Amino acid sequence: MRRAKISIIGAGNVGATTAHWCAAAELGDIVLLDIPLTEGMPAGKALDLFQAAPIMGFDARITGTTDWSHTSGSDVVVVTAGIARKPGMSRDDLLSTNAKIVGDVATRIRETSPDAVVVVVSNPLDAMVQRTFQVTGFPPQRVIGQAGILDTARYRAFLAMELGVSVEDISAMLLGGHGDTMVPIPSCTSVGGIPVTQLVPADRLESIVSRTRSGGAEIVGLLKTGSAYYAPAAATAQMVEAVVRDKKRLVPCAAYCDREYGVGGYFVGVPVILGSAGVERIIELSLLPDEKGALDKSVAAVRDLVAAMNRLTA
């Protein structure tokens, strides 16, 4: 049986760790690509990872390259390319720079892997997945943003810490944009089937939600010189697995919504069925009034972000 071909664009911490998770799970053969300025870096990381295979017992061909032709015919392309915000850099500077980088990447994907499902990880996520969709011209179900799985994982981890229970027993859902306006859905959060509102006082739950919203910033503050990559890469690998193995996972992803939730043509975090075709179905939840209001606010923030990007890239 033919192995899936998974190309990861950007061989930094998130990209390389995504390659690690995907290889260890034997999801397919992996191409790790970075820009020519990095010379042998992607090849070195790929070779190092492949040399772990005899020890860990996984079979996957892993190629590190700066040549886009090596990605041709990919089943899944993961986009982690982009820069992190630096001291003195404005929000618009970051948005403009990464929109150009991601736009260039999307052009190459369109040329080399026209049938691929694209998973976007680059930040600002909600704008970068919209940019990828604009440039590739792919059907919207084949362009997906990774954020909801990561945000939900952080939420679940913090709830497990609060309650002293296994993370495996916590089921949760978050909607909306990635970042400060993400929307937790307490009505869809449970611990071993018990509604979380019966186990965690309202003030503590709000504190956990607040920590989840700033989960990435908390890690940046602790690391000082970098940002999170283990959990973002694990979340990305879960999405890749759902696609290449046609798992039909019900997970939160940044998906293109038009009539759904009244979004009107933007990518926002919603529950989806994720399989070999990409987003196979969007699940519309019946939200409580305060949940719907928070989601509307989050969608408005996404619209503003995309409008700013469109102005900067016009």
Closest to 31 (Cα-Cα) out of 58, 66, 55? 66
Closest to 248 (Cα-Cα) out of 273, 285, 221, 218? 273
Q: Out of 45, 131, 142, 178, which one is annotated catalytic?
A: 178
CA–CA distances in Å: residue 77 to residues 6, 21, 95, 124? 6, 15, 22, 18
**Residues in a beta bridge with 183:** 175
- What whole-number distance in Å separates Cα of residue 236 and Cα of residue 89? 27
**Residues in a beta bridge with 80:** none
Q: Are 83 and 98 a contacting pair, CB within 8 Å?
A: yes
Q: Are 174 and 183 a contacting pair, CB within 8 Å?
A: yes
Residue 269, exposed/middle/buried by CB under 10 A (0-12, 13-18, 19+)? buried
Q: Alpha helix (H) ranges present in 113-164?
A: 125-136, 148-163
Torsion angle defined by CA atoms of residues 177, 179, 184 and 188, in that order, rounded to the nearest 10 degrees: 60
Q: Would you state the structure tokens that stand for residue 16, as one six-digit string?
A: 């390389």
**Is 178 tagged catalytic?**
yes
- What is the set of active-site residues? 178
